[in-house]
Structure 1
Amino acid sequence: MTWLPITRPPGLLSPAPITLRVQTIPARRYFPDHSHPWNQLVYAVSGVLTISTGAESFVITPDQAVWLPTGTNHRVGSLHGAEFRSLWIEDEAGSGLPPTPTVFRVPPLLQALIVEAAQIDGQGDEDGYAGRITALILDQLRRAHALPAALPWPRHESLIRLCEALYLDPADTRSPQDWAQDLGMSPRTLARRFETDLGISLRSWRRRLRLFRSVELLGGGLGVTQVAMELGYGSTSAFIHAFRMEMGSSPQAYMRKRAG
């Protein structure tokens, strides 16, 4: 299915020092490649976002946000649709933050501050409350933990087709050989192209996809057994073991920690 572009709103004003925009992306829509003369933090309140820069492409859940320094060319889209917040931050206010695109973990306090900033946006600041929220957001960003990687996403059209299919159905049992045949290439070409485009093997990507989707599904309210079935695990215990090996805790403990 074709992805359709979204027209960027005109008359965008420079942040002073932070401007927060509330935005929604319908399913299979995207903002085409563009850049800003200011920093940007992209954060999904609900749903999953696909972020592409000149060097890489990946997807993020509401546990994560992407820091895009001033001038970074980027594209933002969503496979299923998402509601997100854009924080535009002037260079002086963003000093001390990474000089390159970075994926952050978003702790509960930072989530709450972003939501609060959206709720009071446009109101007066006679008592300085909005300014204190802004200062706390910047403090939290400087303390945020950068993630080594989110879920990488391909740029090559045939690989996008493969990854979208697996994202929609992580329990898909087709082998690399099956996928190579479906895509009209040899298994060796598929493996080489996948590692070149995403930096990891298809097998590693599928393992990371399962973990990524498990966090998304658990956050959406599904129980552990339901998530294990959705992801194609042979049993609930197999899912719990795989989750613990990657995340260092059980799914239940992880979600309790995420809830603060």
Structure 2
Amino acid sequence: MPILHPADSHELHLSSLNTIEAAAGPIKSLPRFYPAGHRVERHTHSRAQLLYAAKGVVVVATEEGRWMLPPGHALWIAPGIAHSVEMLVDVTMLSLYLAPGVVAGLPERVKTVGVTDLARALIVAAVNPEPEDNTPARAALIMPLLLDVISTLPERGLALPFPSDPRLAALCRSFVAQPTAELPIDRWADQMSMSRRTFTRIFRRETGLSLSTWRQQACLFAALPRLADGEPVTTVALDLGYDSVAAFTTMFKRMLGSPPRIYLARDRSQPAASASLL
């Protein structure tokens, strides 16, 4: 695997940003391979980005929170939003950069979306086509359909927003470092010198999520990289403090639409896409 040195990474990242900003058409596509542990520093671009992780798991951070992007998902990043990207494992990333207004009605924020089979095929064909498909005539057919499909991708609740209150944010950071199925609400409320009711109300106001949903999101953040790396579901579930694999599976299915084994098997059955190193 190629080793990306910090100086080279910085220069290549700047070159990539310049390429995006200089693009003339409505869509600019970029395939990239990133090694585990690589970090793309905080940046912005004038185009919206659909960041699709064809393989691997990434975390995108903005001032509003953190978004996990597991395999088979994409992240919509509106123009002008400052964000950084961290690779938790080796990542094959296929990104589309859309000129403002090219698709009407898309959100002016960050959101995680599920990638349908049709969308996946179109993204691969647009970003990293096979040599025989890399023709202007094919692109003229693919791009309009891809733009239409992007607007219909289903939103997935994989955001992990952090509160702005420093004391509450510190509690959240400590939990993310060691997530567990049981979150000590009363102890957190005591540390904030609040009643349980006041604490839960303020937490929702600060994050937009109930404490229960936020806890489940944090557990998913911890579980998905380990599951993607091949660890048994039983091990991950028990490490996170779930009473049983069934309880963990129920949570996983409620949050992502399918149980872990089916979800991960679906991803592993997808063909890998080749990409250059940034």
- The answer as to whether partners of 1:25 and 1:77 remain within 8 angstroms in 2 is no
Q: Equivalent pairs: percent with the same residue? A: 25
2:29 matched residue in structure 1: 20
Distance 1:150 1:193 in 2: 21
Mapped contact 1:43–1:66 kept (Cα < 8 A): yes
Change beyond 3 A, Cα 1:9–1:158: farther
Distance 2:146 2:75 in 1: 14
Q: Does 1:86 align with 2:91?
A: no
- Which of 58, 73, 84 is matched with 1:48 structurally? 58
- Please tell me whether residue 209 in structure 1 is matched to residue 218 in structure 2: yes
Between stretches 116-125 and 136-145, larger displacement belongs to 116-125
Could you say which structure has the greater relative contact order, defined with CA pairs below 8 angstroms and 6 or more residues apart? 2
Using structure 2 for the length normalisation, give the TM-score.
0.67
Measured after TM superposition, the shift of residue 206 of structure 1 is 0.8
Deviation at 1:232, TM superposition (A): 1.9
Are 1:186 and 2:186 an aligned pair? no
Alignment of 1:1-260 (within 5 A): 8-10=13-15, 11-12=18-19, 13-23=22-32, 24=34, 27=37, 29-36=39-46, 38-45=47-54, 46-52=56-62, 56-61=64-69, 62-69=71-78, 71-78=79-86, 80=88, 83=91, 84-91=93-100, 94-101=102-109, 102-120=111-129, 125-126=134-135, 128-147=137-156, 149-154=157-162, 156=164, 161-171=170-180, 175-176=184-185, 185-186=192-193, 194-246=203-255, 249-256=258-265, 259=269
Provide TM-score, normalisation by structure 1. 0.71
Question: Are the structure 2 counterparts of residues 14 and 150 from structure 1 closer, same or farther at C-alpha, using a change threshold of 3 Å?
Answer: same
Equivalent residues, number = 248
Shift of 1:150: 2.5
Whether the 8 Å contact between 2:40 and 2:86 is mirrored in structure 1 is yes
For 1:138 and 1:27, how far apart are their aligned partners in 2? Answer: 32
Aligned amino acid, residue 193 of structure 2: S
Residue 34 of structure 1 aligns with an amino acid whose one-letter code is: T
CA contact (8 A) 1:44 1:82 kept: no
Q: Which residue identity lines up with residue 111 of structure 1 in the other structure?
A: R
Asked if the contact 1:20/1:121 (under 8 Å) is kept, the reply is no
Per the TM alignment, residue 141 of structure 1 is displaced from its structure 2 partner at its CA by 1.0
| CA deviation map 1:194-222 (0-9, x unaligned) | 43431224333112322454454444433
Structure 1 residue identity aligned to 2:14: P
Q: C-alpha displacement at 1:20, in angstroms?
A: 1.9
Work out whether residues 177 and 187 of structure 1, in 8 Å CA contact, stay in contact via their aligned partners in 2. Answer: no
- 8 Å Cα contact 1:117-1:130 kept in structure 2: yes
Distance in 2 between the 1:207 and 1:105 partners? 18
Structure 2 residue runs of 5 or longer lacking an equivalent are 1-5, 271-278
- Counterpart CA distance in 2 for 1:124 and 1:173 is 51
Give the letter aligned to residue 159 of structure 2: L
